[in-house]
Amino acid sequence: MIKRITWRRTLVLFVCTAAIPLPVSAQPSGDSKLDRVASERAALGYGWSQVIVRAVDATSHPAVQALLERAGGNAGRELRLIRGRAALMPNAALAGLARNPLVAGISIDRPVRGATERTGATIGADSVRQQLGYDGAGIGVAIIDSGVTAWHDDLTGPSGQRVVEFVDFVNGVTSPYDDDGHGTHVAGIVAGNGYDSGGARTGIAPGAHLLVLKTLDESGTGRVSDVIAALDHVLARKDALNLRIVNLSISAGVYEAYDSDPLTLAAKRVVEAGVVVVAAAGNAGRSVDGRTLYGGVTAPGNAPWVLTVGASNHQGTADRSDDAAAVFSSRGPAALTNNAKPDVLAPGVGIESLSDPASALYMVKAAYLLGGTVPTAYQPYLSLSGTSMSAPVVSGTIALMLQANPALTPNAVKAIVQYTAQSYPGYDALTQGAGFLNARGAVELAQYFAAPVAAPDPEPSSWSGQLIWGNQLMRHGRLMPDANAWAADVTWGAARTPAGENVRWGVSKEDERNIWEARCLDVTCRTVRWGFGKAQNVVWGTTCGGLDCSGLWSVEIAGTVADPTAATVVWGSTVVWGSVDGDTVVWGSIDGDTVVWGSRCGGPWCDTLWNPDIR
């Protein structure tokens, strides 16, 4: 049976091999400047908490440190990117600090944790390098993780040193190292050259160069404030190193909405500066007793401006036909805000990449170590699974895209990745996003954006041809390079630009008008113009009716909708995924278990409620 996650507050364990339910806490109530956990700590009146305090504006930012000290706290790292500062504060002082007009918000400095021979062939990256001639050369990728073993043969060798800069936010060491091993594995997926395997285990973009920022310690854990400081460093070094991508194979629990969370706000500043932020979705897709779970996407992957990557399973072959969604991969919607996630799936099962003989993973995962084809003093490769491995597959693909077309903005990159993905039957959009990553298609469409011609853009039938803009799944249109949706100041999912113009993505394939069809994802199911209408919550499985969505997404459901303010909403003809007046909607239950609306659940009791043709 499919269940909706019951949210509880706890540390997110974004491990590489195990999938666990992802608990989070509820959204802060009222106008409080404290997130839910900080509010609970303040109510205790004793003890201390590590927090992040944000100033209301740049003018008040310098005064925040003095406020913290006067309140009896110890000011820590400055977080310029969000006009904030980390601090250790007495819980008894939090409520008073929140009432100060110079303070915009106080959040718990919560923990974060680190969450390929056939991989490159499966997604088409091998053919991009061999036939199109792109390897990511000149593109900088920032890897925020546990560090890197820069001396590994696959990061040096004939192609030169791939790690051009290293900064340690944990211990302040100046030379590159990786006492956990997670970051080294991620770095190899992005830019390893396959030297120790005769080229067999080459990364996706072996020509790219890396800025490695260590924010996780030897146990693979860290703090949100360190990640924010690392993002700040990315912006400081962006131009000098041509940094175009940030890879975050780390995750944190969702304690507040993405528009107030310091971590997601910091990611937004980076995206607005023209850098694509790629984040792992998390590994909370299945419960310990084998049940499929929805709603487990972690932060910062819950934010609409982040390109969020779930995991697929290539089944050990290069053939796309047997690919499947990994059972552990977190499904949407995002907690608290109920926005559709993930954006795309990429290989994340049995990914073979670099090992570090001095790391914790080398000892803990000894059974998964692999030898190379040249003599080495240790086993140079390690096989790991998790969305931590899927994210750098996408980051490497984006490096190839940006080498082909350096003018692409983060929004354009995300749209191209979604549009060229391969959508598989049997999976809803909360499981697979727009589909399974197609690196060859993404690079080809990036090339078209660089030099559009009168002929139609490349569009094989295997492409999804879809775009998840906010909570609307758009299709039957063509992306155009000059659409205003790609502007740096347009927030992904917005209906209008900051100047008040309708957001436009492209044209209808049928008549070249600026109209695409919405796949029944707003409650009226009317035709949605690209640049007209508001993004509304995704409707999964509604009887929408009307000519605009006939044949696109419909199912007849018996029953009626109960009072939407009631605790339980029974099966009905029109149910919107998401919330009503801030309250989570429950769609019904079978034998006391909550049922997630919008997934093909199977079973005799489900056949009469859910059309098996709906995916």
Does the structure show a pLDDT above 80 at 222? yes
pLDDT on residue 76: 93
Is pLDDT larger for residue 592 or for residue 309? 309
Domains in the chain, number? 4
Mean pLDDT, residues 184-196: 95
Does the structure show a pLDDT above 80 at 131? yes
The answer as to whether 3 is a domain residue is no
- DSSP category for residue 496: B
Does the structure show a pLDDT above 60 at 514? no
- The mean pLDDT of the chain is 78
Percent of the chain with pLDDT over 90: 57
Where among 77, 109, 141 does a domain terminate?
109
- Same domain? For 566 and 531 the reply is no
Tokens representing 525? 């199911």
- Same domain? For 525 and 570 the reply is no
**Region of poorest pLDDT, from 192-196, 513-517, 591-595:** 591-595
**Helix (H) or strand (E) run with residue 141 in it:** strand 140-145
pLDDT on residue 527: 30
**Region of poorest pLDDT, from 26-35, 306-315, 513-522, 592-601:** 592-601
- Same domain? For 355 and 249 the reply is yes
- Same domain? For 163 and 46 the reply is no
Which 3 state secondary structure label does DSSP give 129? Answer: helix
pLDDT on residue 290: 84
- Same domain? For 399 and 262 the reply is yes
* CATH number for position 218: 3.40.50.200
The residue with tokens 């004793």 is: 46
Q: What is the number of other CB atoms lying within 10 angstroms of the CB of residue 563?
A: 9
* CATH number for position 48: 3.30.70.80
pLDDT on residue 165: 97
Range among 14-23, 60-69, 430-439 with highest mean pLDDT value: 430-439
How do beta strands 250-252 and 472-475 pair?
unpaired
The answer as to whether 5 is a domain residue is no
pLDDT on residue 314: 79
Spell out the alpha helix ranges (H) of 405-505. 410-420, 429-432, 439-450
Instruction: Indicate which residue of 197, 388, 423, 554 is catalytic.
Output: 388
The answer as to whether 283 is a domain residue is yes
* Active-site residue flag, 312: no
Residue 73, CB-side half-sphere exposure with 13 Å CA sphere? 27
- Same domain? For 335 and 186 the reply is yes
Cβ atoms of 222 and 215 within 8 Å: the answer is yes
- Same domain? For 415 and 489 the reply is no
Which residues contact residue 9 at a Cβ distance below 8 angstroms, ignoring those fewer than 6 apart? 23, 24, 25, 36, 37, 253, 255
pLDDT on residue 496: 86
Instruction: Indicate which residue of 145, 154, 343, 428 is catalytic.
Output: 145
pLDDT, tens digit, 9 for 90 and up, residues 40-75:
999 988 899 999 999 999 888 888 889 999 999 999
Mean pLDDT, residues 494-523: 62
Please tell me the distance from the alpha carbon of residue 123 to that of residue 125, in angstroms, as a whole number: 6
The answer as to whether 17 is a domain residue is no
- Same domain? For 250 and 393 the reply is yes
Which 3 state secondary structure label does DSSP give 41? Answer: helix
Residue from 237, 217, 236 nearest 226 by CA: 217
pLDDT, tens digit, 9 for 90 and up, residues 546-582:
222 222 222 222 222 223 333 232 222 233 333 333 3
- Same domain? For 401 and 260 the reply is yes
Omega before 101 cis (within 30°)? no
The answer as to whether 13 is a domain residue is no
pLDDT, tens digit, 9 for 90 and up, residues 291-301:
888 999 999 99
Does the structure show a pLDDT above 70 at 417? yes
* Active-site residue flag, 388: yes
- Same domain? For 86 and 184 the reply is no
Residue 159's pLDDT band (boundaries 50, 70, 90)?
Answer: low
Residue from 204, 156, 168 nearest 394 by CA: 204
The answer as to whether 546 is a domain residue is no
* Active-site residue flag, 145: yes
- DSSP category for residue 189: H
* Residue-number span of the structural domain to which 598 is assigned: 555-615
- Same domain? For 75 and 138 the reply is no
pLDDT on residue 118: 57
pLDDT on residue 346: 96
pLDDT on residue 196: 93
pLDDT on residue 114: 72
Cβ atoms of 554 and 610 within 8 Å: the answer is no
Does the structure show a pLDDT above 90 at 79? yes
In angstroms, what CA-CA distances link 385 with 130, 187, 221, 361, 611?
27, 15, 18, 13, 33
Does the structure show a pLDDT above 70 at 23? no
What pTM was estimated for this model as a whole? 0.80
pLDDT on residue 257: 94
Mean pLDDT, residues 151-164: 86
Which 3 state secondary structure label does DSSP give 291? Answer: coil
pLDDT, tens digit, 9 for 90 and up, residues 358-409:
999 999 999 999 999 999 999 999 999 999 999 999 999 999 999 999 999 9
Mean pLDDT, residues 590-594: 35
The answer as to whether 2 is a domain residue is no
Residue 420's pLDDT band (boundaries 50, 70, 90)?
Answer: very high
Residue 510's pLDDT band (boundaries 50, 70, 90)?
Answer: low
Does the structure show a pLDDT above 60 at 525? no
Which 3 state secondary structure label does DSSP give 161? Answer: coil
Instruction: Indicate which residue of 61, 152, 182, 209 is catalytic.
Output: 182
pLDDT on residue 504: 85
Please tell me the distance from the alpha carbon of residue 136 to that of residue 98, in angstroms, as a whole number: 46
Where among 61, 82, 109 does a domain terminate?
109
| Count of residues making up the chain | 615
The answer as to whether 101 is a domain residue is yes
Please tell me the distance from the alpha carbon of residue 100 to that of residue 407, in angstroms, as a whole number: 43
- Same domain? For 502 and 602 the reply is no
Cβ atoms of 204 and 399 within 8 Å: the answer is yes
Where among 68, 84, 109 does a domain terminate?
109
Mean pLDDT, residues 338-348: 94
